A = this chain, B = another copy of it.
């Protein structure tokens, strides 16, 4: 039985104590991680939840497992948020508002943004379903903005999420820069430039510039 199934199994197990402990651990984890960040001691978590350490590890064999369970809730929040914003008269405001919400949600627990970045690319993750839903819901907003001519057609939504996720990682250390960085990312540093970025190999003095 792998980690993924372990978590799922105990969530649906017929035994009452197992379900209760599962719920208790999840709630306590959210509380503790909010206070201390995603690297809080798991021993402390078990203690605070009033549960043996063995029980914690049976329900969530890895810390990542625990984070992903919490992440699921965040993704679901963001999904409904996106649906609320869909069809807005201003696709621009809708998308930027949602991206702000993304950052806020993900920044709440210090260290969570890294997990977000991980789940964005890992298709085998426990949270893949929630993550996909969120991506789909957000992409609707994105397409609306694109249809309105606000976003160049060749931009990929996944890259946008990655960029905003990167901003969230930075914002965990310095919360007040989140808005400015998001604004900068949206407008672009060099909006008018023709060459988006030179080829990665072009580390020399610059083609045709010497």
- The interface of chain A, by Cβ under 8 A from chain B, is 84-85, 88-90, 92-94, 96-97, 100-101, 114, 117-118, 121, 145, 149-152, 155-156, 159-160, 162-163, 165-167, 169-170, 173-174, 177, 179-193, 195-198, 200, 202-203, 205-210
Most chain B CB atoms below 10 A, which of A85, A92, A166, A179: A166
- Residues A185 and B189 in contact, CB atoms below 8 Å apart: yes
- Count the copies: 2
B181:A186 contact, CB within 8 angstroms: no
19 pairs across A/B with beta carbons < 8 Å?
A: A88-B210, A89-B206, A90-B208, A96-B195, A96-B198, A100-B197, A100-B200, A101-B203, A118-B173, A145-B190, A162-B174, A163-B170, A163-B181, A183-B197, A184-B185, A185-B188, A186-B193, A186-B197, A191-B192
Top 8 A-B residue pairs of the complex, sorted by shortest distance between their CB atoms: A188-B188, A191-B191, A166-B170, A89-B209, A93-B206, A183-B197, A166-B166, A88-B209
Check A90/B187 contact, CB under 8 A, given A100-B197, A162-B181, A166-B181.
Answer: no
A90 and B209 CA atoms in complex are apart in Å by 6
Q: Is the CB of A84 within 8 A of B205?
A: yes
* Known A92-B190, A94-B206; contact A170-B165, beta-carbon cutoff 8 A: yes
Are the C-beta atoms of A206 and B170 separated by less than 8 Å? no
| CB <8 Å contact, A93 and B207 | yes
Contact across chains for A182 and B197 when beta carbons are under 8 A apart: yes
